[in-house]
Amino acid sequence: MKEHVTVNTKKDQVVLAPTSLMVWDVSDRMTKQIAKRAFQLFEECGCGSGHDLDHWLMAEAELLAPVPMKIKETQNDFRIVAQVRGFNEDEVTFNLEKNQLTIRGIKQTEKQGESEIKMIYGSISLPSEVVPEKAHATLKNGTLEIAAPKSPTETGKTIAVTAA
């Protein structure tokens, strides 16, 4: 089984733990909201069959805001900067694997007696492997910054050229 590490931000601190239920809970809540909206679209279109995927993709487009991310590479690590404006540390989770980062966020607010849900999702492949257990993150003013050291096995190699 592939090892995953979930990094949860808590007031500029990071707690690293094996894949937590929190990440799956957020994913499950997001999926349920998308399914609910897709069903509403299905009903609005007269309950005609054959457009399930269209309704699902339309619901995703309406509900899931993308997470703008930038990767900065140094000799020893990667720094991923993600914009998660409007989300607090307890509303954002991310899963860091050896060469993949996934960020999820869900925020529910009550306005005039109605529940409003805001969701974000972003996933990015890293250029080379990292050591998830040694990563750390900070969330400040809507900017999530994750520093992940490169895996020592991913170092470059100089190859000598010989005459043929």
Quote the number of domains for the chain. Answer: 1
Q: Give the CATH number for residue 106.
A: 2.60.40.790
- What pLDDT does 131 receive? 92
- 129 close to 153: Cβ distance less than 8 angstroms: yes
Q: What band does 157 get if pLDDT is binned at 50, 70 and 90?
A: low
Give CA 60 to chain center in angstroms.
15
Asked whether residue 92 is assigned to any structural domain, the reply reads yes
Q: Is residue 104 part of a domain?
A: yes
Answer yes or no: is 79 within a domain.
Answer: yes
Q: Which two tokens stand for residue 87?
A: 């989300």
Tell me if 95 is assigned to some domain.
Answer: yes
Assigned token pair, 15: 């707690």
Q: Considering only CA atoms, which of 86, 93, 82, 143 is closest in space to residue 109?
A: 86
pLDDT tens profile 30-56: 888 889 888 988 998 888 888 889 998
Within 13 Å and on the Cβ side, how many CA atoms surround 108?
Answer: 7
Q: The domain containing residue 96 runs over which residues?
A: 5-20+66-153
In a domain, 38, yes or no: no
pLDDT of 4 above 50: no
For residue 27, pLDDT over 50 is answered with: yes
Read off the pLDDT band of 24 (50, 70, 90).
low
> Does the pTM exceed 0.85?
no
What would the pLDDT profile of 55-87 be if each residue is shown by its tens digit? 988 888 888 888 999 999 988 999 999 999 988
With respect to residue 81, please indicate whether it lies within any of the assigned structural domains.
yes
In this structure, is residue 51 part of a structural domain?
A: no
Q: What is the pLDDT of residues 106-132, one digit of tens each?
A: 888 888 887 778 889 999 999 999 999
Which range is least confidently modeled, 2-11, 88-97, 113-122, 127-136?
2-11
pLDDT on residue 116: 77
Residue 134 lies in a domain: yes
